[in-house]
């Protein structure tokens, strides 16, 4: 599930709804990584927490002060949403980290999540530079999660060859991403 599309919300006249919706959408991957790091014992809850965070950010958009750090505001909101889930989990006898441990994890997790947006953009650009056959192979493996052995049989080649091709592609993508990040 993703953050609700901005067109699904009613937007009061003079509201910076499109800007807020764009900011929320752009931060979503980073928020997901951040929340998942705060709730490692409840990974399935991370997506729900991010969704709830998106809704809260949208509902409280008028309280956001233009010129202040939207990202910090969004991550702080996600932190409180994660803490509410953590509190509920602790009541249900699920093992949870102490508040002190989570606070120690929060800052480095936020820093790590902030780099996700640029890495995802770099990955997309690097994949788009690949030949279409390589893009299809990556999609088969990582998006559709289909069997490489079946695909190799369809192509009439050994599955080990496809594995080597994927290894080569992953290494090429890693170098491409590092290069793009170095020069960005």
Structure tokens given for 57: 């950010």
Higher pLDDT, 17 or 59: 59
Distance, in Å, from the CA atom of 56 to the CA atom of 70, rounded to the nearest integer, reads 13
User: Which pLDDT tens digit goes with each residue over 64-85?
Assistant: 887 788 888 999 999 999 988 8
Distance, in Å, from the CA atom of 148 to the CA atom of 48, rounded to the nearest integer, reads 32
Higher pLDDT, 89 or 61: 61
Q: Would you put residue 93 in left (φ > 0), alpha (ψ -120 to 50) or beta?
A: left
Total Cβ atoms within 10 A of residue 85 = 19
> Residue 157 has what pLDDT?
85
Q: Would you put residue 145 in left (φ > 0), alpha (ψ -120 to 50) or beta?
A: left
Which residues have C-beta within 8 Å of that of residue 49, sequence separation ≥ 6? 35, 39, 78, 81, 82, 85
This prediction has a pTM of 0.48
Distance, in Å, from the CA atom of 154 to the CA atom of 36, rounded to the nearest integer, reads 38
Share of the chain above pLDDT 70, in %: 83
Total Cβ atoms within 10 A of residue 125 = 12
> What average pLDDT does this structure show over 20-37?
86
Specify whether the CB–CB gap between 27 and 102 falls below 8 A.
no
> Residue 5 has what pLDDT?
43
Query: Hey, which of 16-20, 23-27, 38-42, 89-93 has the most confident mean pLDDT?
Result: 23-27
* Per-residue pLDDT at 112 exceeds 60: yes
Specify whether the CB–CB gap between 42 and 28 falls below 8 A.
no
* Per-residue pLDDT at 149 exceeds 80: yes
């Amino acid at each position: 599930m993703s953050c609700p599309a901005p067109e699904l919300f009613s937007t009061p006249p003079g509201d910076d709804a499109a800007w807020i919706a764009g900011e929320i959408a752009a931060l979503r991957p980073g928020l997901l990584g951040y929340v998942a790091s705060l709730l490692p014992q409840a990974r399935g809850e991370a997506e729900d927490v991010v969704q709830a965070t998106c809704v809260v950010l949208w509902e409280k958009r008028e309280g956001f002060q233009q010129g202040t750090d939207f990202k910090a505001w969004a991550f702080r909101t996600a932190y409180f949403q994660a803490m509410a889930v953590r509190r509920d989990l602790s009541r249900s006898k699920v093992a949870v980290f102490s508040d002190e441990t989570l606070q120690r994890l929060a800052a480095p997790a936020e820093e790590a999540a902030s780099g996700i947006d640029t890495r995802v953009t770099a990955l997309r650009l690097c994949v788009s530079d690949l030949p279409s056959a390589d893009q299809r192979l990556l999609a088969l493996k990582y998006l559709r999660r289909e069997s490489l052995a079946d695909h190799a049989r369809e192509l009439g080649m050994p599955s080990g060859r496809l594995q080597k091709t994927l290894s080569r592609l992953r290494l090429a993508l890693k170098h491409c991403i590092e290069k793009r990040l170095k020069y960005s």
